[in-house]
Amino acid sequence: MLLQVRDLAVDYGAIRALHGVSFEVNEGEIVTLVGANGAGKSTTLRTVSGLVKPASGEIAFEGRRIDGMAGHQVARLGLAHVPEGRQPFAHLTVRENLLMGAYTRRSSEVAPSMDRVFKSFPRLGERLEQTGGTLSGGEQQMLAMGRGLMARPRLLMLDEPSMGLSPILVREIFAIIEEINRQGTAILLVEQNAFMALRVAHRAYVLETGRVAISGPAAELREDPRVKSAYLGE
């Protein structure tokens, strides 16, 4: 098992955001967390990556407890987090943005990582000297994902990769997600577009008000009447 989260609780001041959330990601899987705004999806990713400290519970990555580690320590273990909102370094070039994602790697690994990113995102290779802030929304999302891949992660966590994109770009981004997974990277996906998330994922967890309400194979959840009614508009 690659990632195991058990009974995770997170507080923001007096407000409990997560109530005993448990889930797992195995090698080679795409696992998605779906749910409404405020359900705790982004908080879950931020806690796994060490940006938020849990009130209780356990997080293990490749069998090693990481819930007490800082974010940079978690990243060095092979877990990359691409946060919501893309957040490029606006005044840095595409090349410089990508290099920021490789800070945990040896210098000899940078060029092969860059080549892998350009295979997944050829458009970035055409814009190497363009500043991140001048890219289109879709290109900024590609840059954010490429920056995450530069760390050569065992697990890539993506928070709302399709947010604000046109339907054509959404399909393109999800096709790239599937290709990254086929290349051997496990993916933990938080996504408001439940239809697309459940189409590409192997397994899924539905979060409601900080709790796991439903879980199972993604194909089964696509046919679950509760999921259809609440998240698929059927």
Domain match, 110 and 6 both: no
Beta carbons of 52 and 45 less than 8 angstroms apart:
no
**Of 204, 146, 151, residue with least CA distance to 179:** 146
Domain match, 101 and 207 both: no
Q: Which of residues 104, 124, 152 is at a domain's end?
A: 152
Q: Which of residues 113, 137, 152 is at a domain's end?
A: 152
**Of 220, 222, 214, residue with least CA distance to 197:** 222
Domain match, 197 and 130 both: no
CATH number at residue 177: 3.40.50.300
Residue spans of the chain under pLDDT 70 = 234
* Confidence at residue 106, expressed as pLDDT on a 0 to 100 scale: 78
* Confidence at residue 234, expressed as pLDDT on a 0 to 100 scale: 60
Domain of 196 in residue numbering reads as 1-78+154-227+230-234
Domains contained in the chain, number? 2
pTM of the predicted structure, to 2 decimals? 0.94
| Cβ count within 10 A of residue 214 | 18
* Confidence at residue 231, expressed as pLDDT on a 0 to 100 scale: 85
Domain match, 74 and 8 both: yes
Domain match, 134 and 190 both: no
- Tokens 């938080």 correspond to 190
* Confidence at residue 192, expressed as pLDDT on a 0 to 100 scale: 87
* Confidence at residue 93, expressed as pLDDT on a 0 to 100 scale: 96
Segment 86-127, tens digit of pLDDT: 788 899 999 999 999 887 777 888 888 999 899 899 999 999
* Confidence at residue 109, expressed as pLDDT on a 0 to 100 scale: 83
Residue 30, beta-bridge partner list? 187
* Strand 203-208, strand 211-217: pairing: antiparallel
